[in-house]
Amino acid sequence: AVVSTQSGHYGRDSSKDVLSQVLYPVRQVFSRMRERKDGEGLVDYLTTGRYDYFVDNILPRLRSSDMTSIVIVIPSYYDYVRIRNYFKKENLKFSQLSENSTNKQITNIRRDFAEGNVKYLLTTERFFFFKRYKLRKVEQVVFYECPVYAECYTHYLNMLTEEGALSTLLYNKLDGEKLVRVVGDEQCKQLINSQQSTHVLMSE
């Protein structure tokens, strides 16, 4: 389902979400992962289920994309390490920024990323929370999970100043509490309850 919108003007109370704070035209894709299987443990669903969905459905699109500067934001440090290890195993060229990165590492990685020396930048939500750095030349942002802090969403989307910029957010039907802080009540209900698993919002 495609929902064309103008930032701050799509029939909801904009004070309850952060979409009106997106400053540039961005195609925002919300991709809902499969539902929990019968007998599947909740932790397995939220960790391995999301990991498998990312590896099988999202990453192949990123690998085939012509975009050269992709930021992947991962709230959980456990998931961050898991994705990092997968990238290493697949010999994907990437850089990483976390709350443990030194100032020198941050400076060097930001420069290399802006110069197009690496396609992927893995980062944690805690890096955003503690550092609040901005990155240049970002073409796409992927949120591995709905961020805990809604401000994290707009922080990265407002780096998407390149023409044709794109964001993708992975979510499931259990993410309503976090998702509503990003998109508001009405959009959240549609994303959670729709038969369609992919929705697109356009900010202008």
Coil, strand, or helix at residue 114? helix
Describe the chain by its helix, strand, coil percentages, rounded to 5.
Answer: 40, 20, 40
Q: Is there a contact between 3 and 183 (Cβ–Cβ < 8 Å)? A: no
Taking only the tens place, the pLDDT of each residue in 73-107 is 999 999 999 999 999 999 999 999 999 999 999 99
Residue 146 has pLDDT above 80, yes or no: yes
- pLDDT of amino acid 15: 45
Burial 28-53 (b: 16+ CB within 10 A, else e): bbbbbbeebeeeeeeeebbeebbeeb
Instruction: Report the pLDDT averaged over residues 133-146.
Output: 94
Interatomic CA distance for residues 202 and 45, integer angstroms:
30
Taking only the tens place, the pLDDT of each residue in 153-180 is 999 999 998 888 999 999 999 999 999 9
- pLDDT of amino acid 17: 84
Instruction: Report the pLDDT averaged over residues 116-133.
Output: 92
Residue 12 has pLDDT above 70, yes or no: no
Interatomic CA distance for residues 71 and 166, integer angstroms:
11
Residue 133 neighbours by CB under 8 Å, 6+ apart: 97, 106, 110, 127
Q: List strand residue ranges (DSSP E) for the chain, in order.
A: 2-4, 26-32, 70-74, 94-97, 120-124, 140-143, 166-171, 198-203
- What's the pTM? 0.89
Quickly tell me which residue has 């994303």 as its tokens.
191
